[in-house]
Amino acid sequence: MSDLSYLDAIILGIVEGLTEYLPVSSTGHLTITEKLLGLQVDDPAVTAYTAIIQLGAILATLIYFLKDIVRFAGAWFRGLGNAEARQDPDYGLAWAVIIGSIPLGIVGYLAKDLITGGLRSLWVVAIALVLWSVVMVVAERMHTRFDRRGVVRGEGTVTPLDGLVIGLLQCFSLIPGVSRSGATISAGLARGLDRVTATRLSFFLAIPALTAAGLFEAVQERHQLAAFGAGQMLVGLVIAFVVAYASIAWLLRFVASNSLLAFVWYRVLLGVVLAVVLGVGWMTAT
pLDDT digit string (tens) for 52-64? Answer: 888 899 899 999 9
Which residues have C-beta within 8 Å of that of residue 162, sequence separation ≥ 6?
A: 96, 100, 188, 191, 193, 201
Q: SS3 for 153?
A: strand
CB-based contact 263:202 (threshold 8 Å): no
**What average pLDDT does range 243-247 have in this prediction?**
96
pLDDT given for residue 228 in this prediction: 64
CB-based contact 123:174 (threshold 8 Å): no
The pLDDT-based confidence of 233 (bands split at 50, 70, 90) is: confident
pLDDT given for residue 40 in this prediction: 79
Among candidates 232, 226, 231, 136, which has minimal Cα distance to 177?
136
Other CB atoms within 10 A of residue 16 CB:
28
**What average pLDDT does range 258-279 have in this prediction?**
94
* Helix residue ranges per DSSP H, the chain: 6-19, 26-36, 44-64, 66-81, 89-110, 112-116, 122-149, 160-170, 180-190, 195-220, 225-228, 230-255, 261-279
**What average pLDDT does range 222-243 have in this prediction?**
81
pLDDT digit string (tens) for 159-173? Answer: 999 999 999 999 999
Q: SS3 for 151?
A: coil
pLDDT given for residue 223 in this prediction: 66
Q: What are phi and psi of 193, to 5 degrees?
A: -80, 150
What is the spatial distance between Cα 51 and Cα 216, in angstroms, rounded to a whole number? 9
pTM passes above 0.85: yes
The pLDDT-based confidence of 191 (bands split at 50, 70, 90) is: very high
pLDDT given for residue 1 in this prediction: 45
